[in-house]
Amino acid sequence: MIGIAASAGGLAALSVVLSSIPADFPAAILVVQHLDPDHRSHLAEIMGRRTSINAKQASDGERIEAGTVYFGVPDRHLILNRDLTVSLTSSPASHYVRPAADLLFRSMAEACGARVIVVVLTGGGSDGAEGAKAVKEAGGTVIAQDESTSEFFSMPKAAIETGRVDHVLPLHSIAGVITDVLRKRQASSG
């Protein structure tokens, strides 16, 4: 189970990461990009042309499947439930944003524990840091984009400053490390 969060500069960063995901990717990816709450998002359609796995906007109550990337919708939090369905909620904004990475990451940690890998990409503010801590405390893996490749470093920096980040990577290395971590986990589980 992979969670990715981005804000300012996120479209370009997501393009790099998702275009490097292999077609036989063995996990689901949930993406929170801070979006304008007053406009329909075309992120799933745009990214669908840039990745070899299925890309779609998440639907409330939908069960997630491996090999698919699910994008949050404007003005709704994307939450993973324990039964591996998603909820789109209008609960209060977190860090002034909805959807918020912290809520997604925390829900992923609660639903999947050590099987979670989260990535904090470029963006302003500190959204994602508290959720990254929850993932690490549950035994998951946390990745942050490095400063040199971040258009806006505040979000990755806030995650790094928690002391709970496993890998600080340049943008072009993130997809490869995700894939390597998944392969090692699959090999060790049998």
What residues act catalytically? 7, 34, 127
Structure tokens at 63: 């069960």
Angle at CA of residue 150, ends 59 and 111, nearest 5°: 35
Sign for the pseudo-dihedral over CA of 165, 100, 15, 138 = positive
Query: How far apart, in Å, do the first and last CA atoms of the chain sit?
Result: 18
Task: Tell me 62's DSSP state.
Answer: P
Identify the CA nearest to 128 among candidates 3, 37, 30.
Answer: 3
* CA 128 – CA 165 distance, rounded (Å): 11
Question: If you ran DSSP here, which 8-state letter would residue 104 be given?
Answer: H
Residue 30: which of 134, 129, 104, 100 has the closest Cα?
104
Q: Which residues pair with 68 in a beta bridge?
A: 54
